Amino acid sequence: MKARAQRGLSLIELMVALAIGSILIVGAVYVFSRGRSTYAVNESVARVQENGRYVLSVLEPDVELAGYYGFTNSPDTVRFVSGASPGIVYAVAPQMRQRPVPAAPPNAVANLPAGAHDCGTNFAVDVLTPVQGSNDSFAMGPGAGASCAPYGAGAVATADTLTIRRVETNTAAPANGRLQLYASRLRSRSAQQLFVDGNAPGPIDADNEIHNLVVRAYYLARDAVDRPGLPSLRVKSLTNDAQFEDTEVMPGVEDLQVQFGIDTGDYDNDGVVDPGADVNGDGIPESDGRATRYVNPDFPSLNLAQVVAVRIWVRVRADRPEPGFLDTRRYEYADVDYTPAGNERQFRRVLMSRTISLRNARTL
C-alpha cells in the first residue's frame, strides 16, 4: 500500500501570504498610530480649553461681586474704626484711597496693620475702587514693597493685572487681625465700618452683620510651581492676619488682558453727560449702568468713571511642545497683536474672552 504524498506551501504561496500579512500588519499599525495621534491631539486641545474655562470660572464670580459691601453697594460712607462701640474713627472712605498722585505720596491710614500696605499704601482698604488693574505691567498700588513682588523669576511683562475688592457673602465672627466690615441693614448709608481688632462696632443680630473683607490681585508669573519657564496665573489674597498671600491659580496661562466697561453717562453720544445721569453730583454717572465705552486699565480718568463691566481675555497654552505641530495663527485682542515665533509655535494654545457685568455697580 503506497503512502499518500503530502505537500506543503510552495515558495510562491508563502511569499504571497507573507506579503498579504505584512500589508495587514502595516495597515493595523498605521490605523493604531493615527488613532493614538488623534487621541493625543484631542486630549491636548481639550485640556487647554478646560484650563481656560476654569480660569474664567475663577475670575467671573469675583468680578461679578466686586463692590459688594454687605447691605450696600455704595462705599462712600465706609469708615475705618478701632475699639469697642462707638470706637475711634481713623479714616473715612475718601481717606482710604491709594491716591496715586506723583506730587504727594498717599497718607497711610492710621492703626492699619502694616501687611495691609504690602501691595501699596492703603491697597487693602481702598473700598472706593472695587476693580483695579495695570496695563501691560506688574504694577500694584503706589508704594508697593518687596513683600508684594511677583513669584519666581518675575511677572510676565506684557500681561495686565486685575484687582477686586468686596466682602464675603457669608457672615463671620469678629476676629482680631482680620479686616472685616460691620454692615447695618437699617443704616446702610451710614453704619458701614471696617475694623481689624476684633471689636465689633455695634450689636450683631439679624440687622447687623460682619463680613470678611476680600481683596484679590491677579497677575501672571513667568514661572509655575515646580515648572520654571511655564507662565502661570497667580493671585495675591488678603489673609486672616491682614497680609497678602501669593498662590497659584492655573499654570499655562501666558497672557491676561483686561478692559473696563465704563458708564460715561453719555448715552446719546454728544460728548457730555446726559441730564440726570449724575444723581449725587460727584462727577460719576449713576444712571442705568450701560457700558458706553471699554478702556484699558491705564485710562487717565478711570478713577472718575463708573465701572460697570470688565472684559477679560486669557491666552492659555499647553504645558509641553507638540512634535509636528506649528501654531502660525495671529492673535489680535485688547491691545495685543501676537503671532508665535520660534519654539513658541510648537505649543497648542487657546484664546478665551468673557465680558462680566458688575452686579454691584452704583446704578439706580
3-state secondary structure 342-353: HHHHHCCEEEEE
Q: 303-335, pLDDT tens digit by residue?
A: 777 899 999 999 999 988 988 889 999 999 999
Instruction: Tell the residue number behind the cell numbers 473700598, with chain if given.
Output: 127
Phi, psi (deg, nearest 5) at residue 89: -85, 115
Low-confidence ranges of the chain (pLDDT < 70): 1-9, 32-33, 35-42, 85-86, 100-106, 188-190, 271, 276-288, 362-364
By residue count, the chain amounts to 364
Partners of 313 in beta bridges: 257, 353
Predicted local confidence at residue 277, as pLDDT: 65
Predicted local confidence at residue 102, as pLDDT: 53
Query: 316 Cβ partners below 8 Å, 6+ apart?
Result: 48, 51, 52, 55, 250, 252, 253, 254, 349, 350, 352
Predicted local confidence at residue 166, as pLDDT: 95
pTM above 0.75? yes
Residue 333's CB: how many other CB atoms inside 10 A? 16
Strands, E assignment, the chain = 79-82, 88-92, 131-134, 161-167, 180-184, 193-195, 208-221, 232-238, 244-251, 253-263, 293-295, 306-317, 331-333, 336-338, 349-357
Contact 201, 180 (CB under 8 A): no
Predicted local confidence at residue 323, as pLDDT: 85
Q: 177-236, pLDDT tens digit by residue?
A: 999 999 988 875 667 899 999 999 889 998 899 999 999 999 999 999 999 999 999 999
Estimate the share of the chain in helix, then strand, then coil, as percent rounded to the nearest 5: 20, 30, 50
Predicted local confidence at residue 186, as pLDDT: 80
86 preceded by a cis bond (ω within 30 of 0):
yes
